[in-house]
Structure 1
Amino acid sequence: MSEVLVNEYRGGYVENVHYGHICGVDANGIRYGTGNVRHLTFLRSSGKPIQALPALIHGADEAFGLSEKETAIMSGSHWAETFHVSELESMMVKIGIAEEQLVCSPTYPLNGAARDELFVSGSPKRRIYHNCSGKHLGILSLCKHKGYDLQGYTDTDHPAQQEIAATLAYLAAMPVEEVVTGVDGCGCPVFAIPLDRLATAYLKLALPELIEDHAVRRAAIKIAGLMNRHPEMVSGSGQICSILLLDDNIVAKGGAKGVYCFGLREEGLGFALKVLDGSQEEWPLIIASILEQIGYSRQETIDRLRALAPADMLNDNGIVAGRNEAVFKLQRYES
């Protein structure tokens, strides 16, 4: 049931095809779709804003005196730029966590300049360079605040992970028993839910007034607001999440293997998409097309996306060698 989302052309012929699924929802249900709007989808890092919520629900950020930037990076897939590392190191001190307590493996930064600088200086890999370390510190802040065991905090039966799964199920409006669980790249549990349920969760991040539970609503307002006020903490310089979050009408987060989610406040819409081959390069092109097809009024956001992923593909000599085109048409669902 998948549909072609993007074609890549070279020499006038289709060279690569990217299939996938898109679902858009409002408060009354599914409103837009391409492919299978209920495709079972692992959230990967698109789940980080939701995984951060239990810590905020219980006030761990306030208990440890975390700054806005330190709290925002709980939701992020940071690129370990200098300003990211500074906030992460500060978080460890405030929470009282040693770097060795993080389950995520030591690595080098995703940011090329930061990685090259470490290579040249002969500096070792570190756990906080891992792009999921902010999420891990957020979960550990919850454990420390609530008195949960710090050992095994990534186990599916750990109370912190049970709270995260229950919060996801609540926002997605589905039974927690139906949430599929796997293992993410960083060692934490990763959850899979139907695409329309994932879009619903992001709708509620954008429109927290739809959340009945006061504590969850308060936490959702906080994390979404911090993502917009400090978009650089959610991703890396020049990366799609940070660029989209410059628009204060959007709450957005992507994940590995082609999943991307965003909510639109003024329009009252939540979207989730999955590129089936796991590619991320097509995200800006796909999201720009979605926004254009629904008549999104903030052209500057669309322009930023187009600049991030130009239609013309240049070769190493700067010559146009091909073209990327979003070819899907959103189906409109009526209530």
Structure 2
Amino acid sequence: MMSDPVLVEVVRGGFVESRHRGAVVVCDARGRVILALGDGDRPVFPRSATKPIQALQLIESGAADAMGLSAAELALSQASHNGEPMHVGRVSAWLDRMGLGTEDLICGAHWSSHDATARAMARDGGAPSRAHNNCSGKHCGFLATARHLGEAITGYGDRDHPVQRRWRDALSELGDHPLDDAPEGIDGCGIPVIAMPLRSLALAFARIADPSRETAARRDAMARLSRAVWSAPEMIAGTGRLCSAIARQAEGRVLAKVGAEGVYAAALPGLGLGVALKVEDGAVRAAETALLATLARLGVFDAADLDALAPWSRRGITSWAGAEVGVIRPSDAFG
């Protein structure tokens, strides 16, 4: 098995005290690899990085048009959101329009991942609901599709429910990789998660970037979902989150989606390329650093972009007194 290179270094006082290994694949819509670092053939769980693909059925089924979904709601259907009031309010309103409630979501409840929101909730004696779950928008999309097509609401997260089969088929088609016998697990939000090679995830996002080989219906769905994220960047993640910052800074140039355990995927429409990366130890700080280093290596981001994304591109390490004592930086693997 190929050993993955060090992608990110944690430096203190000029000494590298920690290293994050991982793999990166960049390819075009034909599957031609443009950049490869590490083992791109090893299967990984993409986790939430597949949400733009899971949401395709919401438009392809006609559910989005039937419900008159806004760009913000389409962005929310692809989100790993913070559970801020702007997210929770839209999820609750969407459920209400379908005649459903948070009890119909199978994703479970957790506190907002936005510190200020979580503290305010606790101070006011509040408790998290399933609408606070970072995947609640995706689950609304599943429910909306099932309801529109006359499918059962109960059990919508089961492996063999039509809404799960549809996104699995779409992922297999776009990634050009059979998933019937792929390793499976259950994601944190309760739906199946399926392993695939990193290169297949990159290919799927390359086909979002360059959908010229897709059907007209799929091209339209991909374009609408991407435009939704760029027009409502706060919905894909939220305050202080890289996915939202990239959507705001690089409108039309980059559609980036984080996945748990050190995964990132991105579509680059201007170049017709897809990016997928996985940090071995699952560290999000390393995945964010590696993503920006990859985009800079490809020439998608210049110095002005990296300046605008400084909280992630120039991530300093500070002492408790506020002095900068180190830095988290890309390794020499990025050239």
Tell me, yes or no, whether TM beats 0.5: yes
Alignment deviations for residues 17-73 of structure 1 (CA, whole Å, 9 cap, x no partner): 100000000134111010012221111111111111111110111112222211210
Q: Given residue 5 of structure 1, which amino acid in structure 2 is its aligned partner?
A: L
Match of 1:291 in 2: 295
Match of 2:314 in 1: 310
Match of 1:171 in 2: 174
Match of 2:164 in 1: 161
User: Does the alignment pair 1:109 with 2:112?
Assistant: yes
Match of 1:263 in 2: 267
Whole-angstrom distance in 2 between the partners of 1:206 and 1:228: 14
Whole-angstrom distance in 2 between the partners of 1:159 and 1:27: 27
Whole-angstrom distance in 2 between the partners of 1:203 and 1:178: 24
User: Does the alignment pair 1:36 with 2:39?
Assistant: yes
Alignment deviations for residues 285-324 of structure 1 (CA, whole Å, 9 cap, x no partner): 2222212222335443222333334243111111122222
Whole-angstrom distance in 1 between the partners of 2:16 and 2:312: 22
Whole-angstrom distance in 2 between the partners of 1:324 and 1:54: 39
TM-score (norm 2): 0.94
User: Does the alignment pair 1:252 with 2:256?
Assistant: yes
RMSD of aligned alpha carbons: 1.6
Partner residue of 2:279 out of 275, 279, 286? 275
User: Does the alignment pair 1:79 with 2:56?
Assistant: no
Q: Given residue 175 of structure 1, which amino acid in structure 2 is its aligned partner?
A: P
Match of 1:56 in 2: 59
TM-score (norm 1): 0.94
Q: Choose 70-79 or 320-329, whichever is displaced more.
A: 320-329
Q: Secondary structure at the match of 1:329?
A: helix
Q: Given residue 19 of structure 1, which amino acid in structure 2 is its aligned partner?
A: R
> Residue 75 of structure 2 contacts residue 232 of structure 2 at CA under 8 Å; is this kept in 1?
yes
Q: Secondary structure at the match of 2:284?
A: coil
Alignment deviations for residues 78-134 of structure 1 (CA, whole Å, 9 cap, x no partner): 111111122111111222222101001122211111111111111122000000000
Match of 1:217 in 2: 219
Q: Given residue 64 of structure 1, which amino acid in structure 2 is its aligned partner?
A: M
Q: Given residue 304 of structure 1, which amino acid in structure 2 is its aligned partner?
A: A
> Residue 87 of structure 2 contacts residue 235 of structure 2 at CA under 8 Å; is this kept in 1?
yes
Q: Given residue 147 of structure 2, which amino acid in structure 1 is its aligned partner?
A: K
Whole-angstrom distance in 2 between the partners of 1:297 and 1:309: 11
Unaligned runs of 5+ in 2: none
Unaligned runs of 5+ in 1: none
Q: How does 1:111-260 map to 2 (within 5 A)?
A: 111-211=114-214, 213-246=215-248, 247-248=250-251, 249-260=253-264
Q: Given residue 123 of structure 1, which amino acid in structure 2 is its aligned partner?
A: G
Equivalenced residues, count: 330
